[in-house]
A and B are shown apart, each in its own frame.
Chain A
Amino acid sequence: MKSKTGERTAGDLLLDMRDIRIEGFSDDVWHPIIKGADLKLHRGEVMGLIGESGAGKSTLGKAAMGYAQPGCRITDGTIQFDGMDLRAMNDAQLRELHGSRIAYVAQSAAASFNPAHRLIDQCVEATVGHGLRPAEEAKADARELFAALQLPDPDNIGDRYPHQVSGGQLQRAMTAMAMSSRPDLIIFDEPTTALDVTTQVEVLAAMRDIVEQFHTAAIYITHDLAVVAQMADVIKVLRYGETVEDAPARKMLKQPEMEYTKSLWAVRSLVKPQETSDDIILRVNNVDASYGGPIKVLDNVTIDIPRGSTVAVVGESGSGKSTTARVITGLLPPMSGDVLFNDEPLPLALKDRSKEQLRKIQMIYQMADTAMNPKHTVRDIIGRPLEFYLGLSGKKLDERISELLKMIELDDSFMERLPNELSGGQKQRICIARSLAANPELIICDEVTSALDQIVQEGILKLLLRLQKEFNITYLFITHDIATVKAISDQIVVMFQGAVVEQGMKDDILSPPHPDYTQLLLSSVPEMDPDWLTGLLESRKEGGGMSASGN
């Protein structure tokens, strides 16, 4: 989209969805997911479809293909694709369109490629299956697409199986798969959400270029505003299955009209002033660690954590962030080095630590869902550490649980609920209460907001900051999201391939000059400016500096 300034010419109307209503089946009833949404897309136009999870973006995106996923049904509305009424078509007619004129790029390429077949066979399956091209020709074309998408070794990478290539490469291969039949419309369903920021930049650029090159129309579904700003000509905001606002991308970014849209835009404004202290509560000292093999997952890692402050550990997946947490908690005894807590060395292995030592370091996890026993009520979940560490029982136990619920801004009515009766944000709050129950001095937060929507994220972050002030708790905050880091941290540790690249106060780390890797990481974080990606790619080309290879 060289002319992403709005001059890009939109063609004829390609997709016209009117008053779409979709229902989903759960708990034995049909309940509405999409409540009368309209969507118009012209040839060659890219629409950003944004909203929080549960807003119905994916459901609406798939409906644009005339498809309702199992457990859903389209109950009302019309879907006109290039003059054809998709809702009047039978399955066989729809299959003719799918993979030939309308293609789909899924959120997790790693899960959406069949593990049993080679990449190239999957990439050309639809094209060949629909009889658009003979297999050899389609494969030759796929190799060209691999090259256009800047996949390494484009002639041979297709012969690999999905598990043999990285996530970023798979996502690009999936774009090649969608492009293989030269469709008129591609649905991108959160295609970069599962990727590291440095990889995301490349995938975004590749997708943008190829959509531009073939003048393909696209619906780009995401919850990330900054990403949508780079990709879309027009933006549609969804909430609770209804359209909140529709506007050209630039206008929407500059002057959102609706309150809800403004709130989405405003979330990233949370910033905590940095503080520090000389009182070191935890020191990770020259730690090497491995998972049994000869490869060091952590290489001479030293991190100081001052009492009462928040130290954010940032880096890509595989950089050793979570392994550091496992070493501190004793889940993974290091090969060498030690961990000092309040100036005392902690026993390296979990089983050698005393109950007191265990109590003082608690952990909160990324997936609140899987971190709680689904058969336990909130009372059991929060009560367990109270009984185990503090020996509370009876009335005292109940009072304390109720107190903890108050701290996390929930009331006593939650006591008897099971985890599946809670929203994502509430689940994470319960996990926070569970860790607080032990009266810890240090809480390790491992990507605790990554699975949450931005507004919910903000609530959780505010809660964590408030609790920190009230109880002087120290956080070790593991994340890959720089916006979260800006919001919550005092100090930042940058990790890359198992080693600490940089450690220091937030303002120092976030302001130049940066070491190469920090520079790459920071510059890869999408910004709301629609020209950000274009500008970044140009500056990287000129600078010729460290390339953002996510492989």
Chain B
Amino acid sequence: MHPIVRTVLQRLGLGLLTLFVVSVIIFSSLQFLPGDFATSVLGQAATPETVAAFRRELGLNDPAITRYAQWIGGVLQGDFGSSFSGRSQGREREVMELIGPRLWNTLFLAGMTAIIAVPLALTLGITAALYRNSFYDRAVNATTLTTISFPEFFVAYILILVLATLWKVFPSLANVRESTELADRIYMTALPALTLTMVIVAHMMRMTRAAIINLLASPYIEMARLKGVSKSNVIIKHALPNAWAPIVNVIAFNLAYLVVGVVVVEVVFVYPGVGQLMVDAVTTRDIPVVQACALIFAATYILLNLFADIVSIVTNPRLLHPR
């Protein structure tokens, strides 16, 4: 078996194990949330009998292990259970039905941001390394540091002020629907995507720059220079191929952030993403939804890190072509 396949399988196995541990942690920590769903739905005025009956109906009285087994068993078959909310009114909804469209929105926003931010960060990082210590380098560093230093909502409001209010380039609300056409969707999502871009570019750009500059003192870089290789080729052909591992790890980390950590931006732009849904579910004690969201987030991290590992291996000939 090629070592890459073996490593990937190994990491996948470890990922599944991590996911299992995470599911246990999610499940047990939710047991410690103060108050319970039955009380918060039925209100303070509900009689103890009503609450007890409702709890029974939801299966909240079974031992934790049984409930965990039921939940994880369902999850393994793709069934995340049904949401608690709406139950009391008899409008039961599947968790996936709730999360599905939201998750798609979140992935769309993350994807769009990534398409802008990753190439931008790489280009800025490479050119900053090429012209290091020049005015350009300092300007890029200062600008990206500034944008990352402001809170997300602040960046978002500035963008709204400039691009939606002063010049009416983009809409300030990104309340897309399932029926929204792709072109409209892109147009409406532009501002949140730009906001997130400004938030994550600095991290990736600085790592790109640092990883490349770190290699510039290597003997093989001096050798390339002494072979008469041009400055840009020294960076792109000789430094960059050896710098992918750290860069890709930071990219993966930031992409994961785009999926799991963008609640504030969703709120500002009224964007129906999964972050907002999870926050709502926590407030209403809608345990099945919280569990599903948490599990999806964990899986995102694990998959993206796996992706980073694979890129690190593929770009390292020592691992790709063992002796």
Contacts and interface: CB of A to CB of B under 8 A. Distances in A.
Interface of A: 62, 65, 67, 69-70, 91, 94-100, 103-104, 106-108, 111-117, 125-126, 129-130, 160-161, 163-164, 177
B220 A113 contact: yes
Contacts of A98: 225-228
B222 interface: yes
B218 to A, nearest CB: 7
Contacts of A177: 227
Contact of B220 (A112, A160, A161): A112
B219 A116 contact: no
Nearest to A91: B231
Contacts, number: 81
A67 B223 CA distance: 12
B209 interface: no
Nearest to B223: A112
B238 interface: yes
6 contacts: A111-B218, A111-B219, A112-B220, A114-B220, A126-B228, A163-B318
A112 B221 CA distance: 8
Given A106-B219, A163-B323, A115 B226 contact: no
Contacts of B223: 104, 106, 112-114
Interface string B227-268: 111110100011001100000000000000000000000000
B226 A65 contact: yes
B287 to A, nearest CB: 48
B305 to A, nearest CB: 23
A116 B243 CA distance: 10
Helix, strand, loop or mixed for chain B's interface? Answer: helix
Contact of B321 (A65, A70, A106, A161): A161
Given A161-B317, A163-B317, A130 B222 contact: no
B323 A115 contact: no
A104 B226 contact: yes
Contacts of A111: 218-220
Nearest to B224: A114
The range of chain B's interface size is: 20 to 34
Contact of B315 (A62, A97, A112, A116): A116
Contacts of B226: 62, 65, 67, 98-99, 103-104, 106
Interface of B: 217-220, 222-231, 233, 237-238, 241-242, 315-318, 321, 323
A160 B318 CA distance: 11
B253 to A, nearest CB: 23
A164 B323 CA distance: 5
Contacts of A112: 219-220, 222-223
A340 B187 CA distance: 80
A129 B220 contact: no
Nearest to B217: A70
Given A115-B242, A129-B228, A108 B219 contact: yes
B229 A116 contact: no
A126 B217 CA distance: 20
A363 to B, nearest CB: 29
Which of A69, A98, A114 has its CB near the most chain B CB atoms (within 10 A)?
Answer: A114
A163 B318 CA distance: 7
A94 B231 CA distance: 12
Given A111-B219, A115-B318, A96 B238 contact: no
A95 B242 contact: no
Nearest to A111: B219
A291 to B, nearest CB: 16
A532 B220 CA distance: 33
Contact of A116 (B233, B317, B323): B317
A117 B320 CA distance: 12
A96 B321 contact: no
A163 B223 CA distance: 17
A210 B224 CA distance: 22
A117 B220 CA distance: 11
Contacts of A164: 321, 323
A126 B229 contact: yes
Nearest to B215: A114
Contact of A125 (B225, B229, B318): B229
Contact of A130 (B219, B224, B228, B242): B228
Nearest to A177: B227
Contact of A69 (B222, B230, B315, B316): B222
